[in-house]
Amino acid sequence: MARLKRDAAERAVSLVESGMIVGLGTGSTAIFATRRISELLESGALRDIVGVPTSAASENAARRLGVPLLDREWSGTIDITIDGADEVDPALNLIKGGGGALLWEKIVAQSSRREVIVVDESKLSTRLGTRWPVPIEVVAFGWRSQSDFIESLGGAASLRAEEGRPFETDEGNYVLDCAFGPIADVSALGDRLAGRAGIVEHGLFVGLATDLIVAGEGGIEHRVR
């Protein structure tokens, strides 16, 4: 499966052209794409590429691999972003944030002309929430009140922890992993969560993915929304 994920990420990189601004995804699949971009820059097959990281981890990886980056105060439109997802429905809506980078990932996705998601076939689902909880980034102040609010919407919220302490995102916030079960209306749930003070961002990515590249035992499949 690792080989298939690498092949799928490299298929996504074939969509990158010289001169592009490229969003660099976070996670085990997306790093294959960043490595491939680095190889193509080194060989001269790609030129004048500038990256935008979706997390401090992807930023550090890009610097280590020699991929030039825009500074953190960037603005404007990103030509293409290559990223992963935790769960994907048939309409190419996503759950993201398993790595805790959902805020940066959504900022980059919303600024991208083309959002290419690379996954293995285990991430496909008939309905979001079937296989994965929804990560929700919250400020530390009053986080328990956000947990109560989520439970009022039918979700079971669990504070993400790391080494016995609350996990902190790159912006210093907490993450609640929220099990809703299969979600009947992802747009409506996303709107309810977005309207709540103290919730910084949620991991429902609705209508943002333009392409899906799936690695499976039968090979690589490319779907377009």
The catalytic residue positions are 105
Nearest CA among 168, 169, 99, 178 for reference residue 135: 178
Say which residues have a Cβ less than 8 Å from residue 72's Cβ, sequence separation at least 6. none
Type of residue found at 124: L
What is d(CA 40, CA 189) in angstroms, rounded to the nearest whole number? 41
Q: Which two tokens stand for residue 180?
A: 């809703």
Task: Give CA separation, 77 vs 23, 80, 198, in Å.
Answer: 10, 9, 28
Q: Radius of gyration (Cα) for the chain, nearest Å?
A: 17
Task: Report whether 63 contacts 55 (CB < 8 A).
Answer: no
Strands of the 21-24 sheet, one edge to the other = 50-53, 21-24, 78-83, 112-120, 211-216, 219-224
Task: Report whether 22 contacts 81 (CB < 8 A).
Answer: yes
What is d(CA 147, CA 12) in angstroms, rounded to the nearest whole number? 37
